[in-house]
């Protein structure tokens, strides 16, 4: 174990040589800013003042040449080789609600949701406590770097964790997962993520998922509709798919108590031709356009969660800024 001292603070934390600076800080309850955990967003940057680190992914897109020349590192991609002193801006908001832990896990079962989106259930050696909407990192043997996947169950403390993953052709992690035999072991590290259910928010809920962003939205719907004293009256779920055959999620929502009285589901398909007949309740277009069409006037009065590809997330952010939605009501994960 190495000791990592935060410059200008009395705080320090221990970091194992095979852990990362970001994750070890979060395990110690420190509010270390981050988002993706996989080297892409750049939110976990810090400056190394003393000591020695190694980079787990030299080419990580979250760090520019200028950053490197200024001795800046990514918290999610740096491991200690000695004690170190770092400069970072601690933000209480990022202190984990459930400290992340690493556990071995075994693949228990797989289930097809659509042709390329499957559900994978793992049994962990140790129970993971997480809030609805959070994600975990899966380390696959032989794959460089972990992959982030959102749990699809409502928040709980459970040895069983479910993920819903879209197969990316040529993707190293997803091809490994989709061909993995039941019984194989992985390492799971979590929970992470800030887009978790705000149980006390006194507003209707809008959940927007694009493609592989289904799981965290299903988790949030499950968590919200299981609350004993919900503070909202309606929960709106908008799912953006590329083709009609990608539309999914409604069957999982209809199983939930209270969905009938509080739930509203819309699917939006971006690549449907004018000739194609879409099922009832399915619209044409992009998911952010449907959000604007259906809810523009009420967005500022909603608690809004979204997840999916970065392009979709950027379009959602623009819409919400244009509509002057207070950013403390907006919670999202961009999938890199």
Ligand X SMILES: Cc1cc2nc3c(=O)[nH]c(=O)nc-3n(C[C@H](O)[C@H](O)[C@H](O)COP(=O)(O)OP(=O)(O)OC[C@H]3O[C@@H](n4cnc5c(N)ncnc54)[C@H](O)[C@@H]3O)c2cc1C
| Bridge partners, 128 (sequence order) | 158
Q: How far apart are the first and last CA of the chain?
A: 31
Site for ligand FES in 258-287 (CB under 6 A): none
**Number of residues in contact with ligand X, rule: CB under 6 A?**
27
- Cβ atoms within 10 Å, residue 327: 10
Site for ligand FES in 11-50 (CB under 6 A): 34-37, 39-44
Residue selected from 76, 86, 252, 325 as contacting ligand FES according to rule CB under 6 A: 76
- 175 Cβ contact partners less than 8 Å away, ≥ 6 residues apart: 167, 168
| 144 lies in the binding site for ligand X (CB under 6 A) | yes
| Bridge partners, 228 (sequence order) | none
Picked from ligand X, ligand FES, none, the partner binding residue 134 (CB below 5 to 8 A depending on kind) is: none
Helix or strand holding residue 27 (H, E): helix 21-27
Helix residue ranges per DSSP H, the chain: 21-27, 65-69, 172-178, 214-225, 250-254, 259-262, 287-295, 310-322
| 30 lies in the binding site for ligand X (CB under 6 A) | no
The tokens of 46 are what? 């810090």
Output 82 or 310, the one with its CB closest to ligand FES.
310
Task: Return d(Cα 54, Cα 56) in angstroms, integer.
Answer: 6
Picked from ligand FES, ligand X, none, the partner binding residue 13 (CB below 5 to 8 A depending on kind) is: none
Q: Are 164 and 219 in contact (CB under 8 A)?
A: no
DSSP state of 243: S
Task: Return d(Cα 38, Cα 34) in angstroms, integer.
Answer: 10
Output 169 or 257, the one with its CB closest to ligand X.
169
Picked from ligand FES, ligand X, none, the partner binding residue 148 (CB below 5 to 8 A depending on kind) is: ligand X
Please report how close the Cβ of residue 94 comes to ligand X at its closest, in angstroms.
Answer: 14
State the binding string over 87-126 for ligand X (x if CB under 6 A, else -). Answer: ----------------------------------------
Please report how close the Cβ of residue 118 comes to ligand FES at its closest, in angstroms.
Answer: 26
3-class DSSP state of 325 = coil
Picked from ligand X, ligand FES, none, the partner binding residue 219 (CB below 5 to 8 A depending on kind) is: none
Q: Are 65 and 43 in contact (CB under 8 A)?
A: no
Please report how close the Cβ of residue 237 comes to ligand FES at its closest, in angstroms.
Answer: 27
Task: Return d(Cα 252, Cα 216) in angstroms, integer.
Answer: 13
| 178 lies in the binding site for ligand X (CB under 6 A) | no
| 288 lies in the binding site for ligand X (CB under 6 A) | no
Q: List residues binding ligand FES (CB under 6 A).
A: 34-37, 39-44, 62, 74-76
Q: List residues binding ligand X (CB under 6 A).
A: 36, 38-40, 57, 135, 144-145, 147-150, 163-166, 168, 171-174, 193, 212, 215, 333, 335-336
């Amino acid at each position: 174990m190495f000791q990592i001292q935060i410059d200008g603070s009395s705080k320090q934390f221990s970091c194992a040589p095979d852990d990362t600076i970001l994750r070890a800080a979060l395990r110690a309850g420190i509010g270390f800013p981050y988002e993706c955990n996989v080297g892409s967003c750049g939110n976990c940057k810090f400056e190394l003042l003393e000591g020695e680190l190694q980079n787990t992914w030299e080419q990580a897109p979250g760090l520019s040449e200028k950053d490197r020349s200024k001795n800046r590192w990514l918290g999610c991609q740096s491991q200690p080789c000695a004690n170190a002193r770092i400069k970072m801006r601690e933000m209480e908001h990022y202190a984990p609600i459930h400290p992340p832990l690493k556990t071995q896990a075994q693949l228990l079962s797989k289930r097809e949701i659509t042709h390329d989106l499957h559900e994978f259930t793992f049994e962990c050696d140790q129970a993971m406590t997480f809030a609805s909407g959070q994600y975990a990192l899966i380390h696959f043997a032989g794959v460089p770097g972990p992959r982030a996947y959102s749990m699809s169950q409502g928040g709980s403390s459970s040895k069983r964790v479910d993920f819903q993953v879209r197969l990316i052709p040529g993707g190293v992690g997803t091809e490994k997962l989709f061909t993995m035999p039941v019984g194989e072991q992985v390492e799971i590290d979590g929970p992470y993520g800030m887009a978790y259910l705000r149980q006390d928010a006194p507003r209707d809920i809008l959940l927007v998922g694009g493609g592989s962003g289904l799981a965290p939205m299903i988790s949030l719907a499950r968590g919200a509709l299981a609350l004993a004293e919900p503070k909202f009256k309606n929960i709106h779920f908008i799912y953006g798919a590329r083709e009609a055959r990608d539309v999914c999620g409604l069957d999982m929502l209809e199983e939930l108590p209270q969905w009938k009285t509080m739930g509203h589901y819309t699917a939006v398909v971006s690549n449907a031709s004018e000739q194609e007949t879409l099922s009832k309740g399915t619209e044409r277009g992009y998911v952010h356009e449907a959000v604007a069409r259906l809810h523009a006037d009420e967005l500022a009065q909603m608690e809004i969660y979204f997840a999916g590809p970065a392009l979709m997330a950027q379009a959602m952010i623009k819409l919400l800024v244009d509509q002057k939605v207070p950013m403390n009501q907006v919670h999202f994960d961009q999938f890199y």
